[in-house]
A and B are shown apart, each in its own frame.
Chain A
Amino acid sequence: MAEVERTAELPADLDRVWRMLTDERRLGTWLGGDVSVDLRPGGHLSLAGWDGTRIVGDVVEVRPRRRLAFVWWTPRPFGLPARSRVEVTLEERGSTTLLRLRESQLAPPAVTLHLPEHAGDRPDADGSPRLSGAAR
Protein backbone atom coordinates (compact mmCIF):
# COMPACT_ATOMS: atom_id res chain seq x y z
CA MET A 1 0.00 0.00 0.00
CA ALA A 2 1.18 3.50 -0.80
CA GLU A 3 2.64 5.86 1.75
CA VAL A 4 3.50 9.55 2.00
CA GLU A 5 6.11 10.83 4.47
CA ARG A 6 7.16 14.37 5.29
CA THR A 7 9.28 16.00 7.96
CA ALA A 8 9.21 19.64 8.97
CA GLU A 9 11.26 21.56 11.51
CA LEU A 10 8.76 23.91 13.10
CA PRO A 11 9.80 27.29 14.52
CA ALA A 12 8.16 26.77 17.93
CA ASP A 13 8.73 24.72 21.06
CA LEU A 14 7.01 21.41 21.66
CA ASP A 15 4.33 22.80 24.00
CA ARG A 16 3.25 25.40 21.47
CA VAL A 17 3.17 22.90 18.61
CA TRP A 18 1.15 20.43 20.69
CA ARG A 19 -1.38 23.14 21.56
CA MET A 20 -1.63 23.98 17.90
CA LEU A 21 -2.33 20.36 17.01
CA THR A 22 -4.94 19.84 19.68
CA ASP A 23 -6.97 23.05 19.39
CA GLU A 24 -9.96 22.39 17.13
CA ARG A 25 -10.04 25.86 15.64
CA ARG A 26 -6.30 26.12 15.01
CA LEU A 27 -6.19 22.59 13.66
CA GLY A 28 -8.56 23.77 10.93
CA THR A 29 -6.36 26.77 10.12
CA TRP A 30 -3.52 24.62 8.86
CA LEU A 31 -5.40 21.48 7.81
CA GLY A 32 -7.36 23.80 5.53
CA GLY A 33 -11.01 23.83 6.59
CA ASP A 34 -13.46 23.64 9.44
CA VAL A 35 -12.50 20.86 11.82
CA SER A 36 -14.66 19.13 14.35
CA VAL A 37 -12.82 16.58 16.49
CA ASP A 38 -13.30 14.67 19.72
CA LEU A 39 -9.64 14.25 20.53
CA ARG A 40 -9.47 10.85 22.24
CA PRO A 41 -9.09 7.35 20.86
CA GLY A 42 -12.33 6.41 19.09
CA GLY A 43 -13.38 10.07 18.86
CA HIS A 44 -14.89 11.32 15.62
CA LEU A 45 -13.08 13.71 13.29
CA SER A 46 -14.42 15.69 10.37
CA LEU A 47 -12.83 18.27 8.13
CA ALA A 48 -14.94 20.38 5.81
CA GLY A 49 -12.20 21.63 3.51
CA TRP A 50 -12.23 25.14 2.06
CA ASP A 51 -11.85 23.56 -1.37
CA GLY A 52 -15.09 21.62 -0.93
CA THR A 53 -13.56 18.30 0.09
CA ARG A 54 -14.99 16.58 3.14
CA ILE A 55 -12.82 14.22 5.14
CA VAL A 56 -14.24 12.06 7.92
CA GLY A 57 -12.43 9.74 10.28
CA ASP A 58 -11.68 8.52 13.77
CA VAL A 59 -8.96 9.35 16.26
CA VAL A 60 -6.76 6.31 16.85
CA GLU A 61 -4.07 7.50 19.22
CA VAL A 62 -3.39 10.54 21.42
CA ARG A 63 -0.04 10.60 23.24
CA PRO A 64 0.35 14.08 24.70
CA ARG A 65 3.26 16.05 23.23
CA ARG A 66 4.33 12.99 21.29
CA ARG A 67 1.88 11.55 18.79
CA LEU A 68 -1.54 11.88 17.17
CA ALA A 69 -2.98 9.28 14.85
CA PHE A 70 -6.19 9.19 12.81
CA VAL A 71 -7.80 6.89 10.31
CA TRP A 72 -9.71 8.89 7.74
CA TRP A 73 -11.53 8.73 4.44
CA THR A 74 -10.49 11.27 1.82
CA PRO A 75 -12.68 11.97 -1.17
CA ARG A 76 -10.68 11.96 -4.40
CA PRO A 77 -11.38 13.79 -7.64
CA PHE A 78 -11.91 10.38 -9.21
CA GLY A 79 -13.25 7.08 -8.03
CA LEU A 80 -13.79 5.82 -4.52
CA PRO A 81 -12.65 7.72 -1.47
CA ALA A 82 -9.33 6.47 -0.11
CA ARG A 83 -9.00 5.23 3.47
CA SER A 84 -5.72 5.94 5.17
CA ARG A 85 -3.94 6.18 8.50
CA VAL A 86 -2.33 9.49 9.42
CA GLU A 87 0.39 9.70 12.07
CA VAL A 88 1.85 12.95 13.33
CA THR A 89 4.88 12.45 15.59
CA LEU A 90 6.67 15.25 17.42
CA GLU A 91 10.20 15.45 18.72
CA GLU A 92 11.62 18.22 20.88
CA ARG A 93 14.61 20.04 19.38
CA GLY A 94 15.25 22.76 21.94
CA SER A 95 13.46 25.85 20.71
CA THR A 96 12.20 24.11 17.57
CA THR A 97 10.15 20.96 17.05
CA LEU A 98 10.59 18.23 14.51
CA LEU A 99 7.30 17.02 13.04
CA ARG A 100 7.12 13.72 11.20
CA LEU A 101 4.06 13.05 9.12
CA ARG A 102 3.11 9.73 7.64
CA GLU A 103 -0.07 8.94 5.73
CA SER A 104 -0.43 5.30 4.70
CA GLN A 105 -3.11 3.98 2.45
CA LEU A 106 -5.31 1.25 3.94
CA ALA A 107 -7.48 -1.27 2.15
CA PRO A 108 -11.14 -0.20 2.08
CA PRO A 109 -12.86 -1.95 5.01
CA ALA A 110 -16.05 -2.73 3.11
CA VAL A 111 -14.38 -5.29 0.89
CA THR A 112 -11.83 -7.60 2.47
CA LEU A 113 -9.82 -10.05 0.48
CA HIS A 114 -9.61 -13.49 2.11
CA LEU A 115 -7.00 -15.84 0.77
CA PRO A 116 -7.43 -19.49 1.70
CA GLU A 117 -4.75 -20.59 4.16
CA HIS A 118 -1.68 -21.97 2.39
CA ALA A 119 -3.32 -21.24 -0.93
CA GLY A 120 -1.41 -22.83 -3.71
CA ASP A 121 0.40 -25.52 -1.73
CA ARG A 122 -2.71 -27.46 -0.79
CA PRO A 123 -4.06 -29.59 -3.60
CA ASP A 124 -7.61 -29.35 -2.21
CA ALA A 125 -7.62 -25.54 -2.03
CA ASP A 126 -9.02 -23.92 -5.10
CA GLY A 127 -6.62 -21.05 -4.50
CA SER A 128 -9.08 -18.41 -5.56
CA PRO A 129 -9.53 -15.39 -3.32
CA ARG A 130 -13.05 -14.60 -2.22
CA LEU A 131 -14.61 -11.29 -1.40
CA SER A 132 -16.70 -10.70 1.64
CA GLY A 133 -18.40 -7.69 3.06
CA ALA A 134 -16.80 -7.85 6.50
CA ALA A 135 -16.43 -4.42 8.09
CA ARG A 136 -12.90 -3.62 9.24
Chain B
Amino acid sequence: MTTDDERVDALFSALSSTTRREILADLSRSGPATPSELGSRHGVTRQAVSKHLDVLEEAGLVDRRRVGREVRYEATPAPLEGAVGWIAEVGARWDDRLQRLEDELSD
Protein backbone atom coordinates (compact mmCIF):
# COMPACT_ATOMS: atom_id res chain seq x y z
CA MET B 1 0.00 0.00 0.00
CA THR B 2 1.22 3.46 -0.81
CA THR B 3 -0.09 6.71 0.55
CA ASP B 4 -1.45 9.51 -1.64
CA ASP B 5 1.70 11.57 -1.03
CA GLU B 6 3.92 8.74 -2.23
CA ARG B 7 1.80 8.37 -5.35
CA VAL B 8 2.06 12.09 -6.10
CA ASP B 9 5.85 11.99 -5.58
CA ALA B 10 6.22 8.97 -7.86
CA LEU B 11 4.08 10.64 -10.53
CA PHE B 12 5.99 13.88 -10.27
CA SER B 13 9.43 12.33 -10.51
CA ALA B 14 8.26 10.12 -13.38
CA LEU B 15 7.21 13.19 -15.36
CA SER B 16 10.25 15.28 -14.47
CA SER B 17 12.28 13.83 -17.33
CA THR B 18 11.72 15.08 -20.88
CA THR B 19 12.69 11.67 -22.28
CA ARG B 20 10.15 9.91 -20.08
CA ARG B 21 7.41 12.34 -21.12
CA GLU B 22 8.32 11.67 -24.75
CA ILE B 23 8.27 7.90 -24.25
CA LEU B 24 4.88 8.15 -22.54
CA ALA B 25 3.45 10.37 -25.29
CA ASP B 26 4.82 7.94 -27.88
CA LEU B 27 3.21 4.91 -26.19
CA SER B 28 -0.14 6.65 -25.93
CA ARG B 29 -0.01 7.75 -29.59
CA SER B 30 1.42 4.64 -31.20
CA GLY B 31 0.31 1.86 -28.85
CA PRO B 32 2.35 -0.83 -27.04
CA ALA B 33 6.06 -1.17 -27.87
CA THR B 34 9.13 -3.10 -26.77
CA PRO B 35 12.07 -1.40 -25.00
CA SER B 36 14.24 -1.87 -28.15
CA GLU B 37 11.65 -0.17 -30.36
CA LEU B 38 11.39 2.73 -27.93
CA GLY B 39 15.17 2.96 -27.65
CA SER B 40 15.67 3.36 -31.38
CA ARG B 41 12.77 5.82 -31.70
CA HIS B 42 14.13 8.07 -28.94
CA GLY B 43 17.82 7.70 -29.52
CA VAL B 44 18.61 6.11 -26.14
CA THR B 45 20.11 2.74 -25.24
CA ARG B 46 17.93 -0.23 -24.41
CA GLN B 47 19.28 -0.15 -20.85
CA ALA B 48 18.39 3.52 -20.44
CA VAL B 49 14.89 2.88 -21.82
CA SER B 50 14.41 0.03 -19.35
CA LYS B 51 15.29 2.35 -16.46
CA HIS B 52 12.86 4.98 -17.71
CA LEU B 53 10.15 2.32 -18.10
CA ASP B 54 10.76 1.12 -14.51
CA VAL B 55 10.18 4.65 -13.20
CA LEU B 56 7.03 5.05 -15.32
CA GLU B 57 5.77 1.67 -14.14
CA GLU B 58 6.40 2.62 -10.50
CA ALA B 59 4.16 5.66 -11.02
CA GLY B 60 1.46 3.50 -12.60
CA LEU B 61 1.83 5.18 -16.00
CA VAL B 62 2.79 2.08 -17.98
CA ASP B 63 2.06 -1.61 -17.74
CA ARG B 64 4.09 -4.49 -19.13
CA ARG B 65 2.71 -7.47 -21.01
CA ARG B 66 4.60 -10.52 -22.11
CA VAL B 67 3.72 -11.45 -25.69
CA GLY B 68 5.54 -14.66 -26.63
CA ARG B 69 9.22 -13.93 -26.04
CA GLU B 70 8.76 -10.17 -26.07
CA VAL B 71 7.86 -7.76 -23.31
CA ARG B 72 5.72 -4.92 -24.56
CA TYR B 73 4.87 -1.79 -22.60
CA GLU B 74 1.61 0.07 -22.86
CA ALA B 75 0.51 3.43 -21.50
CA THR B 76 -1.99 3.38 -18.63
CA PRO B 77 -3.53 6.83 -18.38
CA ALA B 78 -5.44 6.65 -15.08
CA PRO B 79 -2.93 8.49 -12.82
CA LEU B 80 -2.85 11.46 -15.20
CA GLU B 81 -6.57 11.93 -15.46
CA GLY B 82 -7.22 13.99 -12.35
CA ALA B 83 -5.99 17.35 -11.15
CA VAL B 84 -2.89 15.78 -9.58
CA GLY B 85 -1.87 14.43 -12.99
CA TRP B 86 -2.33 17.83 -14.59
CA ILE B 87 -0.26 19.51 -11.86
CA ALA B 88 2.57 16.98 -12.19
CA GLU B 89 2.65 17.25 -15.98
CA VAL B 90 2.40 21.03 -16.24
CA GLY B 91 4.79 21.54 -13.31
CA ALA B 92 7.41 19.28 -14.88
CA ARG B 93 7.20 21.23 -18.17
CA TRP B 94 7.70 24.57 -16.37
CA ASP B 95 10.66 23.24 -14.38
CA ASP B 96 12.33 22.43 -17.72
CA ARG B 97 11.43 25.79 -19.25
CA LEU B 98 12.59 27.86 -16.29
CA GLN B 99 15.84 25.91 -16.17
CA ARG B 100 16.43 26.70 -19.87
CA LEU B 101 15.57 30.38 -19.26
CA GLU B 102 18.09 30.55 -16.41
CA ASP B 103 20.74 28.81 -18.53
CA GLU B 104 20.09 31.16 -21.43
CA LEU B 105 20.46 34.24 -19.21
CA SER B 106 23.61 32.93 -17.50
CA ASP B 107 25.62 33.16 -20.72
Contact = CB atoms under 8 A, between A and B. Distances in A.
Decide whether A and B are members of one complex. Answer: yes
A103 B105 CA distance: 22
A104 to B, nearest CB: 10
B22 A78 contact: no
Majority secondary structure of chain B interface residues (helix, strand, loop or mixed): helix
Majority secondary structure of chain A interface residues (helix, strand, loop or mixed): mixed
Given A2-B86, A10-B105, A30-B100, A101 B94 contact: yes
Interface in B69-101: 75, 77, 80-81, 83-84, 86-87, 89-91, 93-98, 100-101
B48 interface: no
Q: What 3 A-B pairs come out closest when comparing CB atoms?
A: A78-B77, A2-B83, A30-B101
A31 B97 contact: yes
Contact of A6 (B18, B21, B86, B95): B95
B47 interface: no
B105 A20 contact: yes
A103 B90 contact: yes
B53 to A, nearest CB: 15
A78 B60 CA distance: 14
A32 B98 CA distance: 10
B28 A105 contact: no
Given A11-B105, A26-B104, A76 B83 contact: no
B44 interface: no
B81 A79 contact: yes
Contacts of A117: none
Contact of A76 (B18, B80, B95, B96): B80
A82 interface: yes
Contacts of B75: 77-78
A121 interface: no
A47 to B, nearest CB: 10
